[in-house]
């Protein structure tokens, strides 16, 4: 495994970090707790020491699974990355979305990054994770009802109290990142990025490179679209959030599959899967420090971890990028 330092901190994460959204079941059609825990432990055996989760993933379920999974692991060798700012158990803040929990119960989710809410969420996360500190604590989504100053100063206090090591953000624009960084040292921004979703290259990547901040790329496999396993007409399970998303329109699936077909000879030459090739490409891109890769069982997590063994030359990266230029998804 490769380990990369976030920003100017001394926090190192595994270049492939375990993404625990799907492990929580919410919006992914349920989960099997034992399989998810084994996935985390198996990833650790292959050098994936960093785990990204959030309270909203299964309404605390993902964090509990992570907490159970790391009980047998040395805490000082595990980096716990979690979030705050999405509440399903209170109605203060900005309404975000109506959803259902893992039991099918209707819930309403609110963005709330007030100081009071952050302090409570941190305590709840520490209990679920079974730890006394969080390595990287990130706002999940911008909250228009709370000043950025209030949110960041709350995290700064948690850092001072020893409950959080470093502050990060998710889904922040350059302007929001600039403001946040005036109140606390923000070392990273977690944003969506994949071969077919590269909008951040215009402004966010140049800014973070200039200011020595890190980008944690989520959905690098575009939620399964870039695995090579999806065909037009794919039927999603009940409760799977991907149903109806623009990326998964038949024409987009078809076009992506045609692009991936061009990569198959390269993947085969590397003795790698398409997913492994895609993950390796992702962490080779300028400004991308970490790729978050989700898994719901040990087989998937080991496969993700082994993507680090794929080596791509400059010519091979150029070949991939040239093939990508012809992909024009309707999203």
Phi, psi dihedral angles at 248 (to 5 degrees): -105, 20
| Strand-strand pairing, 94-100 and 106-111 | antiparallel
For residues 237 and 29, is the Cβ–Cβ distance under 8 A?
yes
Measured CA to CA, the distance from residue 31 to residue 297 in angstroms comes to 10
- CA separation (Å) from 314 to 200, 285, 318? 22, 11, 6
Q: Is 56 helix (H, G, I), strand (E, B) or coil?
A: coil
Residue in 3, 46, 57, 218 annotated catalytic: 57
For residues 66 and 81, is the Cβ–Cβ distance under 8 A?
no
- CA separation (Å) from 127 to 59, 74, 124, 131, 249? 14, 17, 5, 7, 40
Give the closest residue to 259 by CA, choosing from 329, 330, 327. Answer: 327
Phi, psi dihedral angles at 91 (to 5 degrees): -115, 15
Measured CA to CA, the distance from residue 106 to residue 97 in angstroms comes to 11
172 catalytic residue (yes or no): no
The radius of gyration of the chain's CA atoms, rounded to the nearest angstrom, is 19
Give the closest residue to 170 by CA, choosing from 219, 126, 124, 211. Answer: 219
Place of tokens 């993933």: 57
Angle between helices 61-69 and 33-45 (to 10 degrees): 50
Give the closest residue to 65 by CA, choosing from 27, 103, 21, 124. Answer: 21
Measured CA to CA, the distance from residue 80 to residue 91 in angstroms comes to 27
Which residues are the active-site residues? 57
């Amino acid at each position: 495994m490769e380990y990369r330092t976030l920003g100017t901190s001394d926090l190192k994460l595994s270049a492939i970090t375990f993404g625990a959204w799907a492990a929580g079941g919410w919006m992914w059609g349920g989960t099997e707790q034992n399989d998810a825990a084994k996935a985390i432990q198996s990833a650790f055996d292959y050098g994936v020491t960093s785990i990204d989760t959030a309270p909203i993933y299964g309404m605390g379920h993902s964090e509990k699974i992570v907490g159970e999974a790391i009980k047998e692991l040395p805490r000082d060798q595990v980096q716990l990355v979690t979030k705050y700012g999405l509440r399903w158990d209170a109605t203060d803040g900005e309404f975000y979305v109506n959803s259902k929990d893992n039991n099918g119960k209707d819930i309403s989710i609110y963005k709330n990054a007030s100081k009071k809410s952050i302090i409570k969420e941190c305590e709840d996360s520490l209990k679920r994770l079974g730890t006394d500190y969080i390595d990287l604590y990130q706002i999940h989504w911008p909250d228009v009802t709370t000043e950025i100053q209030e949110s960041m100063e709350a995290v700064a206090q948690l850092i001072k109290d020893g409950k959080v090591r470093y502050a990060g953000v998710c889904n922040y624009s350059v302007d929001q990142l600039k403001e946040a960084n005036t109140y606390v040292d923000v070392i990273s921004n977690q944003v969506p990025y994949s071969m077919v979703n590269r909008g951040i290259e215009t402004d966010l990547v140049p800014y973070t490179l200039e200011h020595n901040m890190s980008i944690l790329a989520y959905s690098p496999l575009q939620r399964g679209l870039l695995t090579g396993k999806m065909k037009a007409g794919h039927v999603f399970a009940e409760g799977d959030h991907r149903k109806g998303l623009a990326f998964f329109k038949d024409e987009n699936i078809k076009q992506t599959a045609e692009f991936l077909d061009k990569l198959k000879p390269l993947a085969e030459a590397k003795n790698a899967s398409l997913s492994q090739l895609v993950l390796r490409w992702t962490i080779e891109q300028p400004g991308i420090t970490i790729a978050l890769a989700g898994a719901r069982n040990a087989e998937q997590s080991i496969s993700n971890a082994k993507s680090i063994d794929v080596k791509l030359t400059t010519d091979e990266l150029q070949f991939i990028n040239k093939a990508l230029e012809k992909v024009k998804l309707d999203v």
